[in-house]
Chain A
């Protein structure tokens, strides 16, 4: 294949790559090599990867090709490359959590979901950059460099985080899919700011065993890809009960690709207004409202919803995350606090000032907020909102203006996603437009517990009606 053609392999979806590999139109070795070449060409600037596993990826690709020739196909992801955020344990490959503290940590076993994707035939290209220990929505990293948003070739804009490398790599064609983690929005925020599709599944749908925690009761893991179909393919491989994670559900796992029927006729869709769409910038609000209207024209039944209880989410979830995060990091925070990057060290310190009574109060309110969201979804199939109220800020920008006043950038980034970490509902983010300056705008789609199928059905139907998700960033 010529260079231009191999480069095009990097823009194919996981579904298309899997189909072309299965029909021997392209070999897994060609696909992996094309991605490794692209990583070599672009990653010095994008800083999406912390570790590139070129040798093992090529070795796996050759084994995958041999299996294929012997008639053994593991499934639709056979020979398809991907890359996890660097907080997933990978056997024999260092897993840093984006930190200096775990800079030389090499796990003896794969995280459950890494093993499941391996069994499905997928090939790890390397480990992706992230906000240190996943404790920040900007995606900053003092140890391995800040990942760069590929949608602005001139200014250094943040990718959003904490799954910053996942956002940059998938958007720039360095990997067709990733697994991120999401404690306050860390899958959906970089998906929104980088113009890709990400899914935070229901709490308990996907195992967290072997994944470094930030806050156990808020952490979710899920796919980040360029299409809803690819999210469905990855979710098919990773979802389901895991004895190593007692919080996983025993509910059976449906075939998520079977739900992608391409229509939304008769689906009841609620647009979240106060505290959500109303606080976004004018461009974000217009794009989200246009997406809602597009779904309505396609046959969905649209109305508006308010969730008053989310007013309490910022305080309550801060108490939970601060307490749980410090509980995990307490040993290192006593022994080697200087090895944390300053913003993470400062956030971890906050946990020392949250009392047990505060923590329990926050968990009481959690039941209240969850039941309010459940009630809204009893009358509707999905809820819509912006994923982030703002597009990607320039690196170092501290304040931004929202519909209800000035906010610091960090609070603005997590404001619309964090309620669904607190409640545990499944929520996706997908591109629904671009600003006049060419930055992606993200739509958030929230579903009923364990109904990821309907969430993905809506995203897939929207992606059949629009081409936002097919656009390529200027810096890639």
Chain B
């Protein structure tokens, strides 16, 4: 099991800025727990054995 992820507001601010979003400290602080939970879940996906499976989208044309 991975250790709980901790992300500071400054890191969140920089990540958001990369997408062109400018959010206040209060706004970033309010979403910080949810971002930490999401990134923890996504980290766990790294341990799923998928070999060299190619990514797919829904676009399954018949």
Contacts and interface: CB of A to CB of B under 8 A. Distances in A.
Interface string B21-50: 101000100110011001101101110101
Given A346-B30, A367-B56, A312 B12 contact: no
Contacts of A76: none
Nearest to B56: A367
Contact of A365 (B27, B48, B57, B62): B48
Q: Place the interface of chain A in its size category.
A: 35 or more
A349 B44 CA distance: 21
Given A349-B23, A367-B54, A361 B46 contact: yes
B17 to A, nearest CB: 9
A367 B59 CA distance: 11
Interface string A346-364: 1001101110001011111
A314 interface: yes
A110 to B, nearest CB: 24
Interface of A: 203-204, 217-218, 247, 249-251, 312, 314-316, 318-319, 322, 326, 330, 333-334, 346, 349-350, 352-354, 358, 360-368, 370, 424, 449-450
Contacts of B46: 361
Nearest to B57: A217
Interface of B: 12, 15-16, 18-21, 23, 27, 30-31, 34-35, 38-39, 41-42, 44-46, 48, 50, 53-62
Contacts, number: 99
Contacts of B44: 315
Given A349-B23, A350-B38, A364-B54, A424 B60 contact: yes
Contacts of B61: 204, 247, 249-250
Contact of B34 (A249, A250, A350): A350
Contacts of A250: 61-62
Contacts of B45: 312, 315-316, 358, 361-362, 365
Contact of B12 (A318, A353, A368): A353
Given A350-B38, A352-B16, A249 B62 contact: yes
28 contacts: A204-B58, A217-B57, A217-B58, A247-B58, A247-B59, A250-B62, A251-B62, A312-B45, A312-B48, A318-B41, A319-B42, A330-B20, A334-B21, A346-B34, A349-B16, A350-B31, A352-B21, A353-B12, A353-B16, A353-B38, A361-B46, A364-B54, A364-B56, A365-B45, A366-B55, A366-B57, A368-B48, A370-B56
Nearest to A367: B56
B58 A330 contact: no
Given A204-B61, A352-B15, A333 B34 contact: no
Contact of B41 (A204, A315, A330, A368): A315
Nearest to B11: A353
Q: Which 10 A-B pairs have the closest CB atoms?
A: A363-B55, A315-B41, A367-B56, A203-B58, A217-B58, A352-B19, A364-B55, A358-B42, A251-B62, A352-B16
Contacts of B38: 315, 318-319, 322, 350, 353-354
Given A247-B59, A353-B35, A364-B55, 10 more contacts: A203-B58, A203-B60, A204-B62, A217-B57, A247-B58, A326-B19, A330-B20, A346-B31, A362-B45, A449-B60
A353 B9 CA distance: 12
A473 B25 CA distance: 46
A352 B15 CA distance: 7
A285 B32 CA distance: 36
A344 to B, nearest CB: 13
